Amino acid sequence: MKTASIIAYVLVIVGAIVWLLVGLFDFNLVNAIFGNTSVVSRIIYSLVGISGLYLIFFALAYRPFSEVG
């Protein structure tokens, strides 16, 4: 489970950086590297979305930010 969490966090951080670039500079890094709507870019977007959903489930199921006691 730890490996899956690390991968999910990395993918969500990458997704956040991509959205930051889109918001500030109107530049999509994934499309620039892999092409507009290519299969690889769609896979990357899907993995980022799945990682976000995984982290939401993790936060709801395990409550890692709640106080102990």
pLDDT tens string, the chain, 69 residues long: the values are 688 888 999 999 999 999 999 999 999 998 899 888 789 988 989 999 999 999 999 888 887 666 665
Q: Which amino acid is at 47?
A: L
69 in any annotated domain: no
- Classify residue 35 as left (phi > 0), alpha (psi -120 to 50) or beta: left
Domain range for 48 = 2-62
pLDDT for 12 equals 93
d(CA 69, CA 19): 37
54 in any annotated domain: yes
67 in any annotated domain: no
Count of structural domains, the chain: 1
Task: Give the residue from 17, 46, 52, 47 showing the smallest Cα distance to 32.
Answer: 17
38 in any annotated domain: yes
18 in any annotated domain: yes
34 in any annotated domain: yes
d(CA 40, CA 30): 9
pLDDT for 4 equals 86
68 in any annotated domain: no
